Structure 1
Amino acid sequence: MRKITSPLNVKNLNLKNRIVLPPMATAKALEDGSMSEEILSYYDEKTRDGDLALVIVEHSFISEEGRANKKQISVASDDMVEGLKKLSALLHKNGTLGVMQINHAGLYAKPNDPFILPAGPSALPGQNIHVLGEEGIVQIIADFAQAARRCRDAGFDGVEIHSAHGYLLNQFYSPLINKRTDAYGGSLTNRIRLHMEIIQAVRKAVGSDYPVFLRLGACDYKEGGTTIEDSVYASRIFEKEGVDLLDISGGYCGYVHPTEKSQGYFREITEELKKAVDIPVLLTGGITDLDAADAILEKNQTDLIGIGRAIYKDSHWLHEALEKLKK
């Protein structure tokens, strides 16, 4: 058996293979963020072949203040739970586990209400923003916890906290943006304080048995930004606080590597994290060939492989690639 087709346990989840559909925004929700037939149809098409072990559903906003885009999925209200149940049930019917990603866009927020200012850790030149104070931070922690509870109530198999691609938690993590001088800024320990408080609140809201993932923008690849060493330090703490899986992507470079273009281009990060933590690590980044993915797994550079664009372009790509692997 190839390693890519071997099973893996993540907390109490039994993954039938090592292949994950990572979160990719579709902007197919209704105006208020509620579930649409378009979303259900999209995920049905991507999972109907039954080959994926896990789907991490695209980022959903935890509050109107944290909305990233129009037609983004909402987990900001209990009213959304019934619609979300339709998506989790569809994924299960198609033979895959489903984890919901929850997010606050921070400085990149685009609320439907034009009077709500984007909020972030620090002021930025030329931007009209709200610098978060203690009250705002407490509210965001509560919003993440309640959003996670809604994901559990909606039947998803886990929840993923988004701290990558320059969104709010990544803004606190990165010294390129976080210029605070209080308990949430300066040292790396301070810059991940909000992460720790959110993880603790989420864990309290969903219970000890519910899987909690974290997507980490592990390296900014910019002078003065976060480094792989920072992520090793942070990941050890996230594991202690109750994170069950680390999903690795880029920070202010987004989901691409600025210089490395080979398949699995963030593997230098996941390889180091695997040496530092005992929880599984998920690698995404330009993978379009299962042989290449299997080689990365065999080298122990990651535990799971995220394949996004290839499946986005061709819903049957994975099924055909797995059939070729058997020959």
Structure 2
Amino acid sequence: MSYLLAPLKRGKLVLKNRLVMPPMATSKSEEDGKVSEDILKYYDEKSKGGYISLVIIEHSFISQAGKASERQLSIADDSVVESLKKLSEIIHRNGSKTVMQINHAGSAAIRSITGTEVIGPSAVANPTKGDMPRELTCMEIEDIVQEFKAASLRVKAAGFDGVEIHSAHGYFLNQFFSPLTNKRTDEYGGDVKGRIKIHMDVIKAIREAVGDDFPILLRLGASDYMPGGSTVEDSKIAAREFEKAGVDILDISGGFCRYTIPGNTSQGYFSPLTEAIKKSVSIPVILTGGITEVQAAETLLSENKADLIGVGRAIYRDSNWAKRAVESLE
């Protein structure tokens, strides 16, 4: 029996196997953030044959102030919906399901890209990049919560099978989660439950907007791997709260270490995080990170390190990776 080929039938998002293509920025959108022909060709090529059960579309900015880079996909206004429909239709036609990741860069933004001042949970420089941010007021935080909500409705209108909230890699929501960048003393700071208050607000707003049947995923940077940063113990607490709030799948990655762990090149290097979080919740958990071999994916699943396996750079480099992987196990 193949673990990777087993269907996932728990919850709202039924998947034919356990292979996921995680979100990877392509910088291929039009200048205004709309879907380009290059984007359509890229995802058509990656999803051809439907060997990947779930394709997660690269992070897309929810507002101009939250734009992370040039040629990043936009989910910031209603004008993008029609072109995004073409994207979801291609992936569905190829036989895969697809969700869209929505994001705000926060203090990882650069003024020369956004044209606006850089903002964050606290006036603390982002350890990865960006200008010194201005600390947000509570009213401004609520405005951004509403931007996440509006973005989720556009994702649903564009025909996707779910929406993923991005709180990893040192971006906006992850900045609230990490003690390195969240020095607030109000309700949005302090202990873990304070630092995830904005996440809970976003999840609640999105669930009210999209309804009970539309899957919500959350990508969590579950450890910064830095002194004074977020830890797996923080993430176990957060994961339980996210499940209670209505998140359907947790997609685990790094925090301010981003998508790698310095000095660790093992297959599935985030598996200590996913294993600990999986024991804390009943919803499915995705493991991504350095997985390039089919047997490694099989082993990680058989050892209950995760429920789903994300294969990023191997699929990015080789569009036939998934086809060969599935056929080798059949």
Question: Structures share a fold, TM > 0.5?
Answer: yes
Secondary structure of residue in 1 paired with 2:279: helix
Secondary structure of residue in 2 paired with 1:4: coil
- May I ask how many residue pairs the two structures share in their alignment? 326
**Match of 2:324?**
320
Matched, 1:240 2:235: no
User: Does the 8 A contact of 1:123 with 1:130 survive in 2?
Assistant: yes
Give the Cα separation in 1 of the matches to 2:277 and 2:133: 34
Write out aligned runs for 1:1-327 (5 A): 1-110=1-110, 115-124=115-124, 127-326=131-330
**Once the 2 structures are TM-superposed, how far is the Cα of residue 124 of structure 1 from its aligned partner?**
2.5
Give the Cα separation in 1 of the matches to 2:137 and 2:252: 29
Residue 19 of structure 1 aligns with an amino acid whose one-letter code is L
**Once the 2 structures are TM-superposed, how far is the Cα of residue 49 of structure 1 from its aligned partner?**
2.7
Query: CA separation of 1:29/1:127 partners in 2, compared to 1, >3 Å: closer, same or farther?
Result: closer
**Once the 2 structures are TM-superposed, how far is the Cα of residue 260 of structure 1 from its aligned partner?**
2.7
Secondary structure of residue in 1 paired with 2:73: coil
Give the Cα separation in 2 of the matches to 1:103 and 1:50: 26
**Once the 2 structures are TM-superposed, how far is the Cα of residue 114 of structure 1 from its aligned partner?**
5.8
Secondary structure of residue in 2 paired with 1:86: helix
* More moved, 84-93 vs 120-129: 120-129
* More moved, 106-115 vs 245-254: 106-115
Residue 131 of structure 1 aligns with an amino acid whose one-letter code is E
Secondary structure of residue in 1 paired with 2:20: strand
Give the Cα separation in 1 of the matches to 2:232 and 2:114: 38
Query: CA separation of 1:186/1:172 partners in 2, compared to 1, >3 Å: closer, same or farther?
Result: same
User: Does the 8 A contact of 1:117 with 1:128 survive in 2?
Assistant: no
* More moved, 106-115 vs 189-198: 106-115
Percentage of identical aligned residues: 56
**Once the 2 structures are TM-superposed, how far is the Cα of residue 50 of structure 1 from its aligned partner?**
1.8
Secondary structure of residue in 2 paired with 1:14: coil
**Once the 2 structures are TM-superposed, how far is the Cα of residue 11 of structure 1 from its aligned partner?**
2.2
Secondary structure of residue in 2 paired with 1:3: coil
Query: CA separation of 1:92/1:115 partners in 2, compared to 1, >3 Å: closer, same or farther?
Result: closer
Unpaired segments of 5 or more residues in structure 2?
A: none
The C-alpha deviation readout for 1:89-137, integer Å capped at 9, x for no partner, is 0010000000000000001123667641111011126944221112210
The C-alpha deviation readout for 1:124-166, integer Å capped at 9, x for no partner, is 2694422111221011000000100110010000000000000
Unpaired segments of 5 or more residues in structure 1?
A: none
* More moved, 34-43 vs 5-14: 5-14
User: Does the 8 A contact of 1:50 with 1:94 survive in 2?
Assistant: yes
Secondary structure of residue in 2 paired with 1:265: coil
Give the Cα separation in 2 of the matches to 1:224 and 1:12: 37
**Once the 2 structures are TM-superposed, how far is the Cα of residue 28 of structure 1 from its aligned partner?**
0.6
**Once the 2 structures are TM-superposed, how far is the Cα of residue 320 of structure 1 from its aligned partner?**
1.6
The C-alpha deviation readout for 1:194-213, integer Å capped at 9, x for no partner, is 00000000101100110000
User: Does the 8 A contact of 2:29 with 2:71 survive in 1?
Assistant: yes
The C-alpha deviation readout for 1:288-324, integer Å capped at 9, x for no partner, is 1111110110011100000010010010122122223
Give the Cα separation in 1 of the matches to 2:114 and 2:304: 48
**Once the 2 structures are TM-superposed, how far is the Cα of residue 183 of structure 1 from its aligned partner?**
1.0
Secondary structure of residue in 2 paired with 1:271: helix
User: Does the 8 A contact of 1:69 with 1:111 survive in 2?
Assistant: no
> RMSD over aligned Cα, in angstroms?
1.4
Give the Cα separation in 1 of the matches to 2:113 and 2:88: 29
The C-alpha deviation readout for 1:191-240, integer Å capped at 9, x for no partner, is 00000000000101100110000000000111111111110000000000
Residue 256 of structure 1 aligns with an amino acid whose one-letter code is T
User: Does the 8 A contact of 1:40 with 1:87 survive in 2?
Assistant: yes
* More moved, 303-312 vs 111-120: 111-120
**Once the 2 structures are TM-superposed, how far is the Cα of residue 35 of structure 1 from its aligned partner?**
1.0
